[in-house]
Amino acid sequence: MFKFAVFLLVFCTFYVQAELSEADFESLRLQIREQYTIDPKIALQLTEQALNTSRLSADQKIKILNYKAWFQMELNQFSTAMRTTNEIKQLISDAQDKSLIYAYYNLSGGVYSKLGLYELALVQYKDALIVAEQRGEDMVYQTKNNIADVYFLLGQYDIALDYYNEYLHFLNSNKDELSLSLLYNNIAKVYIAKNEYDDATKFIDKAQQIQKNSKSDYHLAYSSQFRGKVALAKGQLGAASAYFRKSIMTFQRLGNIREVNDVKLDLITLDIKQGDITEAKKLAEEVLESAKQTNTKSKQVSALSVLAKIAELQGDSKHALVLTQELSQVEREIYAQQRNITLSRASYELEIVEKELEIESLKRVQAVQAAEASAQQKWLLSIIIFMLIYAISTILVIQIIRRRNSKLRATLKELTNTQEMLVEAEKMSSLAGLVSGMAHHLNTPIGLVITANSSLNGSLRDVQDKFEQKTLSPSQLNHFIGDALVASDIVDRSANRLNATVERFKAINTSIGSAELKTIELSDFLNLHIREMLIRTAPNAKLMLGNDSLEVQTYPNILLEVLKEFMQNSVQHGFIDNHHIEEQPLITIRVNEYDDAWQLSYKDNGRGLPDHNTEQVFNPFFSTNLAAQLGLGLTIVFNSVSHVLQGSIKAYSDDKGVEFLLTLPKQLKNGRRKAVKN
pLDDT in tens, 52-69: 875 788 888 888 898 888
The domain covering 518-665 belongs, at the CATH homologous superfamily level, to Histidine kinase-like ATPase, C-terminal domain (3.30.565.10)
Burial of 236 (0-12, 13-18, 19+ CB in 10 A): middle
Instruction: Please list, in sequence order, all residues whose beta carbon lies within 8 angstroms of the beta carbon of residue 225, skipping any fewer than 6 positions away.
Output: 243, 244, 247, 262, 263, 266
Q: What is the pLDDT of residue 441?
A: 64
Model pLDDT for residues 221-274, shown as the tens digit of each residue: 888 989 999 988 888 989 989 998 998 998 888 888 888 888 888 888 888 888
Percent of the chain scoring above 90 in pLDDT: 7
In whole angstroms, give the CA distance from residue 548 to residue 553. Answer: 16
612 torsion bin: left (phi>0), alpha (psi -120 to 50), beta (else): left
Residue 671, pLDDT score: 52
Strand ranges inside 546-630, DSSP E: 551-554, 586-593, 597-604
Question: Is the CB of residue 64 less than 8 Å from the CB of residue 50?
Answer: yes
Q: Who wins on pLDDT, 576 or 26?
A: 26
The percentage of residues in the chain with a pLDDT greater than 70, rounded to a whole number, is 85
Q: How many CA atoms lie within 13 A of 97 on its CB side?
A: 17
pLDDT of residue 158: 92
pLDDT, residue 3, reads 42
The mean pLDDT value for 365-392 works out to: 76
Q: What is the mean pLDDT of the chain?
A: 80
Say which DSSP state 546 is in: -
Classify strands 648-654 and 657-665 as parallel, antiparallel or unpaired.
Answer: antiparallel
Judged against a pLDDT cut of 90, whether residue 647 lies above it is answered with: yes
User: What is the pLDDT averaged over residues 466-484?
Assistant: 83
29 backbone dihedrals φ, ψ, rounded to 5°: -60, -40
**pLDDT confidence bin for 18, thresholds 50/70/90:** low
Rounded to an integer, what distance in angstroms lies between the CA atom of residue 527 and that of residue 667?
A: 22
Sign of the alpha-carbon torsion through 310, 316, 322, 328: positive
**Model-level pTM?**
0.49
> Which helix (H) or strand (E) covers residue 369, if one does?
helix 317-378
User: Is the pLDDT at 648 greater than 90, yes or no?
Assistant: yes
pLDDT in tens, 302-348: 888 888 888 888 888 888 888 889 888 988 888 887 787 777 777 77
CA distance 497 to 566: 27
Q: Say whether pLDDT at 653 is over 70.
A: yes
Note the pLDDT of residue 355.
Answer: 66
Per-residue pLDDT tens over the stretch 545-603: 776 788 899 999 898 889 888 888 888 877 876 555 567 888 888 888 888 899 999 99
CA distance 365 to 358: 11
Taking 60 as the threshold, does the pLDDT of residue 220 lie above it?
A: yes
Dist CA 138 CA 122 (whole Å): 19
Q: Give the tens place of pLDDT for each residue, 321-330.
A: 888 898 889 8
- Can you list the alpha helix ranges (DSSP code H) found in 507-632? 522-537, 556-569
pLDDT of residue 13: 44
Among 4-8, 357-361, 528-532, name the one with the lowest average pLDDT: 4-8
The predicted-structure confidence for 178-199, as pLDDT tens digits, reads as follows: 788 888 889 999 999 899 999 9
Cα 572 from chain centroid? 30
Q: Looking at the chain, which residues constitute the CATH 3.30.565.10 domain(s)?
A: 518-665
Q: What is the pLDDT of residues 130-169, one digit of tens each?
A: 888 887 888 888 898 999 999 998 999 999 999 989 888 8
Counting beta carbons within 10 angstroms of the beta carbon of residue 302, is it exposed (0 to 12), middle (13 to 18) or buried (19 or more)? Answer: buried
Which has the higher per-residue pLDDT, 672 or 573?
573
Confidence check: pLDDT of 9 > 60: no
Q: Is the pLDDT of residue 6 over 50?
A: no
Checking if the pLDDT of 611 tops 70, the result is no
Q: Which of the 8 DSSP states describes residue 19? A: P
